[in-house]
Structure 1
Amino acid sequence: MQPQRGRAAGLGCRGGDELPPVQQNLPYYPHIFWVDGYAETAAPCAPAVPSAPFPPPVPDRSRKPRSKGRERGERSRAGFLVMFLLILVAFTGVGLSIFKIFHLEKEVDELRESASAEPIPASSQKLTGHRKEARRAAHVTGNPEQQGLPLEWEPSSGHAYTSGVQYEARGLRVSEPGLYFVYSRVLFRGTACDSPLLLAHVVYKRNPASPGSLVLMEDKAANFCSGQRMWARSSYLGALFRLRRMDSLHVNVSKIALVNFEESKTFFGLFKL
């Protein structure tokens, strides 16, 4: 059997592989290759030449690393810019507020000038109390020159006055219906206590549409003094009444001679609520 021609057959050396150590007591047989019918002894494999390592990558010189000082400078500049923007916004808000306040004050001054120039209507005067005659009230004081009953009063001098209420026929006549507070005070006094003695103080009203009179308030007193000495007694009446148009109010007493007609001690009046 002839050997087949062709490329050498056999075991070749693997690059970089080392041969296992040969035992001393075993015979050594060299490797034989068949090349074109001739056997050649394979030369011992040369030791594998180690390949050179790749060089380390060259650093990119175009981009330099940032230093810590440069980073701190950039941060401080950014912080200063933010603070400057915040201060600018604050000053802008303050300026707008001042401008708004100035504008409002100017509008208030203009409204005051226009209000002072325009006349106040009658309805507004009645609500705000600018017109004194709109207040329905009267206060009359005692008159020493009495000529019978009911009691006669002083309507204009001293503390007495009338506003929207007429003093006529010894009484106070109302021209506007509504709710009125009516009051009267009479001071009685004498030099001796005559027993039996009865004191009476009455407030009543009349109306042309109704016959007779209607008692509104009354005070009576008896046995209020004793002995032969000077005495004094005050009687006060006051209440709230709904009066009609043309109602007239009057005051009666039991003893005219015992009444002290000083204006601070005996008086009569009313006012509309």
Structure 2
Amino acid sequence: MSCDHRYPFPQVFLVDGGGGPVDPAQPPSLVPCWTSPPVQERARSRGRSGGFMRVSPCLTLVVLLLFLLVFAALGFEAYQIYKMKTELRQMKQGEPVTESNMVQKQIGLYGPELHDKDKDDRPAAHVIGQIQRETFHKTLRWEPKGGRAFLSGGVTYQIEDGSLRVNESGFYHVCSRVELIFKSCSSTASFVHSVFVRRVGHPSPITLMEAHRDGLCPQQLDHPWTSDSFLASALKLQKYDRVFVNVSQPRYLSHEHYANFFGLYKI
């Protein structure tokens, strides 16, 4: 084996097929053989080349956090879309939105409807006239269950005195109507229709509303005549107040159940 010094570094040795030396003047059928670089040089070069492909742990964490942020944003948007679809479905199933409803909402005249539970729990009462044939009380008695009469929300009817008792303080709409039939009307015929309350701590009754009717039949004397009176107002009542209706001439009250009534409800 001989070394041909015509080649630069790395050195190239020429060998023949049998492993013996070959004359440098014979270039054909020669196989070049380069010497391997030192082990330290190869390790250093491998380390320099691998530095470009190595990924920092901090960079990996930042990328993962970015992915999590993107997925969280997508999930939130999906939830918002689902919520909007649910609200639209509920609106379609409910009352249709008309132009008049939109105008009422804009000017503040629209009030939300009460749920069934709220309607049942609202303090309210409606009682109808009780027919009396022998004993006539100026403070009227009522039927709390017959016909369209009802009691709800803690309002109770006191059988002993004919009052409606409220169990909550607040503003109430109170109304009463009476109808009187005079068999023989005269120029002096008259009656008084009033609503009053008895309150804890007040010994005397407090008048809430009152109406005076006189001169009922000035044109046709000694003939039957019918007259009525209706009272209604928004009043502030206190807990345990008892509300009454009084008529000065109860014997002339109509015997029609729906002609005389008394009611209240909390506003």
Structure 2 length as normaliser, TM-score? Answer: 0.54
Which of the residues 155, 166, 172 maps onto 1:174? Answer: 166
Equivalent residues of 1:159, 1:263 under 8 A apart: no
Equivalent residues of 2:193, 2:247 under 8 A apart: yes
Query: Is 1:232 paired with 2:226?
Result: yes
| Aligned residue pairs, count | 159
* Partner in structure 2 of residue 250 of structure 1: 244
Q: What is the CA RMSD across the aligned residues, in angstroms? A: 2.7
Which of the residues 178, 181, 186 maps onto 2:178? Answer: 186
Query: Is 1:134 paired with 2:134?
Result: no
Higher strand share: 1
Paired amino acid for 2:173: F
SS in 2 for 1:212: coil
* Partner in structure 2 of residue 108 of structure 1: 86
SS in 1 for 2:239: coil
Unpaired segments ≥5 residues, structure 2: 1-77, 91-112
Give the Cα separation in 2 of the matches to 1:233 and 1:216: 22
Q: Deviations over 1:32-88 (max 9, x none)?
A: xxxxxxxxxxxxxxxxxxxxxxxxxxxxxxxxxxxxxxxxxxxxxxxxxxxxxxxxx
User: CA offset at residue 129 of structure 1?
Assistant: 2.6
Change (3 A) 1:106 1:272: closer
**1:75-114 map, 5 Å:** 104=82, 108=86
Q: Which protein has the larger Cα radius of gyration, Structure 1 or Structure 2?
A: 1
User: CA offset at residue 128 of structure 1?
Assistant: 4.2
Unpaired segments ≥5 residues, structure 1: 1-99, 113-126
Paired amino acid for 1:167: Y
User: CA offset at residue 106 of structure 1?
Assistant: 10
* Partner in structure 1 of residue 139 of structure 2: 150
Change (3 A) 1:195 1:209: same
Percent identity reads 33
* Partner in structure 2 of residue 268 of structure 1: 262
Equivalent residues of 1:204, 1:215 under 8 A apart: yes
* Partner in structure 1 of residue 99 of structure 2: none
Change (3 A) 1:128 1:224: closer
Query: Is 1:215 paired with 2:202?
Result: no
Give the Cα separation in 2 of the matches to 1:106 and 1:201: 56
